[in-house]
Structure 1
Amino acid sequence: MPGRYFDEWAVGDRIVHQPGRTVTETDNLMFSAMTHNMQPLHLDAEAAKRSEFGRILVNSTFTFSLAVGLSITDTTLGTLVANLGFDEVRTPHPTFIGDTLTCSSEVVSLRESRSRPAQGIAVFRHTLTNQRGENALTMLRSVLLYKKPV
């Protein structure tokens, strides 16, 4: 299903995105290196063993980016004007290498654009859930969407 236009959404609409994604050591290593995040918890197995987690912790900005990526096809692919903001990002449970994450999205608000009559603003709550049923990440994403062409 491609992204939907602004006027095809209703508050409360919910989607569980498929497929999910299993996080690999390479994902974590490359993302951390590309973003210059040299936190030993993400890169050094021996240092991570001494932490309260006892193993490498996946970079939370990777899980954030994965949530957005997993949601795009069903929400905004081909209908997005721009991402307007990300709010209330929370990581209630850590993500570890080998975790499989599934993303769901819910529309929490919709409003017509005051300055752009052919567009509207939608706010999605994205939630990443791991294979243990724990929420690994939640966030709000505000987007500017095109309305359906007439």
Structure 2
Amino acid sequence: MPGVYFDELSVGQVFVHALRRTITEMDNVLFTSMTHNPALLHLDEEYCRTETEFGARIVNSAFTLGLMVGISVGDTTLGTAVANLGWDEVRFPNPLYHGDTIRVETEVLELRPSKSRPNAGIVTFQHRAWNQKGQLVAVCKRSGLQLKRPAQGAA
């Protein structure tokens, strides 16, 4: 089980995730189509080239958010999360383009025991993603209900 239990986390702890991902055109077009998002920014290369400041299609921000959080799961919550409670302060300071590679870091911002579940606590993570140029492309806070380490001998 690669995830971390609530009581193994500490405020200020940073996870530098080894997993990286290069975004493909297929990723962007498929995700955008599957979510019924007709935004020209994600689908129309000519429009983006001639009518926008970006000059090319940009990656769907919902895909960027999901990928950033997904990359973090193996090191933080895989097998130890009870539930994702929410995402806050989601920002995309720079766009991602087809062919960009992202890397992600996660910092533990807050920890508090659950009042209703003695076997779990609430953790607030901040996820940050950068492209291969070192530009911050996404950041968010994520709160989750995380299991505490089982007591010795507990089944």
Whether TM exceeds 0.5 here: the answer is yes
Instruction: List aligned pairs for 1:97-108, cutoff 5 A.
Output: 97-108=98-109
**In the alignment, which residue of structure 2 is the partner of 1:140?**
141
Is 1:23 paired with 2:23?
yes
Instruction: Provide the secondary structure at the position in 2 that maps to 1:30.
Output: helix
CA distance in 2, matches of 1:13, 1:19: 18
1:31 deviates by 0.3
**In the alignment, which residue of structure 1 is the partner of 2:37?**
37
AA of the residue aligned to 1:26: M
Structure 1 segments, 4+ long, off by >4 Å, are none
AA of the residue aligned to 1:34: M
Instruction: Provide the secondary structure at the position in 1 that maps to 2:46.
Output: helix
Aligned residue-pair number: 150
1:18 deviates by 1.5
TM-score by length of 2: 0.95
**In the alignment, which residue of structure 2 is the partner of 1:48?**
48
Instruction: Provide the secondary structure at the position in 2 that maps to 1:98.
Output: coil
**In the alignment, which residue of structure 1 is the partner of 2:120?**
119
**In the alignment, which residue of structure 1 is the partner of 2:14?**
14
**In the alignment, which residue of structure 1 is the partner of 2:2?**
2
**In the alignment, which residue of structure 2 is the partner of 1:96?**
97
TM-score by length of 1: 0.98
Consecutive unaligned residues of structure 1, counting only runs of 5 or more, are none
Identity %: 53
Consecutive unaligned residues of structure 2, counting only runs of 5 or more, are none
Spell out, residue by residue over 1:65-98, the C-alpha distance to the aligned partner (whole angstroms, 9 max, x if none).
Answer: 0011100000100000000010000000111111
Is 1:64 paired with 2:65?
yes
